[in-house]
Amino acid sequence: MAQGHLRVTIVEAAKLADKDKTDFNDPYVEVYIDEKKKYKTRTLENVERPIWNETFDFDIWPSNEYVHIDVYDEDEGKKPDVIGSAKVSLDDVIRKGHYDDWVKLPGFLGFGSRGDIHIRMNFAKTSTD
């Protein structure tokens, strides 16, 4: 695996599983390569189809394999509800230099769907000279 710089843009989400019974979710996304360094989008209140367009930068090392995405519904004064999680392999991103696609948030045990999230990524290899 190559070493370099990865720019990840959390674009938007669609068809998110509704965790709030009376209104729409208050979603946000955590994105990370390593659990020690997570980035978080802003929380969007009471939206059916959130659009974030937020970008985060990561240094990539040969040991890194995935970009992890966790989508939550923020509940004021309570622990956030997990809407869904996914991971994207860095292999294709590194080989092609870019990624622009919708990623499914699989349901319990991989059955069904908890929604989709649109992600863009660009990779630039770091010179090893």
Look over the chain and give the mean of its residue pLDDT values, rounded to a whole number. 91
Instruction: Return the pLDDT at 113.
Output: 84
In this predicted model, what pLDDT tens digit does every residue of 81-103 receive, in sequence order? 999 999 999 998 999 999 999 99
Phi, psi of 107 (to 5 degrees): -80, -170
Predicted structure pTM score: 0.91
Q: Specify the higher pLDDT residue, 62 or 19.
A: 62
**What is the C-alpha to C-alpha distance for residues 48 and 69, in angstroms, rounded to an integer?**
19
Q: Are 113 and 106 in contact (CB under 8 A)?
A: yes
Among 8-17, 21-30, 67-76, which stretch is predicted with the lowest mean pLDDT? 21-30
Instruction: Return the pLDDT at 78.
Output: 83
Average pLDDT over residues 58-82: 91
Q: Count CB atoms within 10 A of the CB of residue 30.
A: 17
Residue 94, H or E segment: helix 90-96
Domains of the chain: 4-125 (2.60.40.150)
Instruction: Return the pLDDT at 10.
Output: 98
